Structure 1
Amino acid sequence: MAKDYVSMIRSLVGHTPIMMNTAAGILLNDNGQVLLNLRTDTHNWSLPGGYLEYGETYAQACVREYKEDSGIDVDIIRFLKIFDKGEVRYPNGDVTQTISALYHVRQIGGQPLQSETDETVKLSYFDFDKLPPLLNQQTADMLDYASKNIDH
């Protein structure tokens, strides 16, 4: 529904900048590295996560979107912070201010995606001090916050 919801809004407002709510998770491996996904739409890296569906909580969206983006089932360890200064410029000209809830999560099932999907090219773990090109400054801010507030 989230894609249909965004499509419906875009059909009404075109490329006018809009605000959207998102949720993302920080998953660390045993080496303290963070899992990121290479996005199909912008071709840069971000935390698994995405837009809330209508009626959904941030926590529910985090769990659902994590599975969609990574193939991994997660459980929330704790809420970390809201990040409300973020902008995404999509290749089609859409501009969105994202208000993102960040969670620390742990894997409880599923398997990392082994092939490209409509949202994720690939997954990889990275050291916090050796990150690839990121989606936006908000993603960088979330990773910086997590690196300072989660034991790894």
Structure 2
Amino acid sequence: MANYIQEVRALVGHKPMILNASAGVIANDQHEVLLNLRTDTHNWSLPGGYLEYGETFADAMVREYKEDAGLDVKIIDSLGIFDQGFTEYPNGDLTQTISQLYLLQPVGGHTLEQATDETLDLKYWSLDNLPPLLNQQSADMLAAVKRYFDQQD
């Protein structure tokens, strides 16, 4: 059931919804993380997105990373579930997003070289010098990534 969110939004309008999403982390050798500049809010977030009806968190992660970043990925580890993702989108939609965060390894594809309907730009960022983020949940997930890398060193 593609476009599940659009179908539900057509019924409920801008009322607050609880939605499930997957987000993923790819890091380079300096532990900089790949973020995407979003077309809807014009700020940065981890590539990822909402589950379609019947999809698992893992399936959504693989699909969304391809859509948002152009990369085929393999899941290496689960970095946790984050349930305090409150966002008001420019069109007035309100969401509380429950996100599963994964550490990923690229296994194919090519990083997008031009803007798409969801991604304006992709860039690696230092976890100590992040750009303006989508919401507090994005900040919380990136803090968890930093803790994960600190424990690995």
Q: Normalized against structure 2, the TM-score is what?
A: 0.96
- Paired with 1:78 and 1:37, the residues of 2 have a C-alpha distance of 21
- Paired with 1:30 and 1:82, the residues of 2 have a C-alpha distance of 25
Say what the alpha-carbon RMSD is for the aligned residues: 1.0
- Paired with 2:47 and 2:67, the residues of 1 have a C-alpha distance of 8
Offset of 1:5 from its aligned partner?
1.0
- Paired with 1:31 and 1:107, the residues of 2 have a C-alpha distance of 16
Q: Normalized against structure 1, the TM-score is what?
A: 0.96
Tell me which residue corresponds to 1:34: 33
1:45-64 to 2 correspondence within 5 Å? Answer: 45-64=44-63
Matched positions, count: 151
CA deviation map 1:69-127 (0-9, x unaligned): 00011100011100001111110100011000000001101110000000000000000
Tell me which residue corresponds to 2:72: 73
- Paired with 1:40 and 1:121, the residues of 2 have a C-alpha distance of 6
SS of 1:86's equivalent in the other structure is: strand
- Paired with 1:7 and 1:74, the residues of 2 have a C-alpha distance of 26
Offset of 1:48 from its aligned partner?
0.2
Which runs of 5 or more structure 1 residues have no equivalent in the other structure? none
Which runs of 5 or more structure 2 residues have no equivalent in the other structure? none
Tell me which residue corresponds to 2:13: 14
Identity of aligned residues (%): 60
Output the amino acid matched with 1:15. H
Offset of 1:32 from its aligned partner?
1.2
Tell me which residue corresponds to 2:43: 44
Tell me which residue corresponds to 1:149: 148
SS of 2:42's equivalent in the other structure is: coil
SS of 1:24's equivalent in the other structure is: strand
Tell me which residue corresponds to 2:106: 107
Output the amino acid matched with 1:76. I
Q: Does 1:116 align with 2:112?
A: no
Output the amino acid matched with 1:115. Q
Tell me which residue corresponds to 1:85: 84
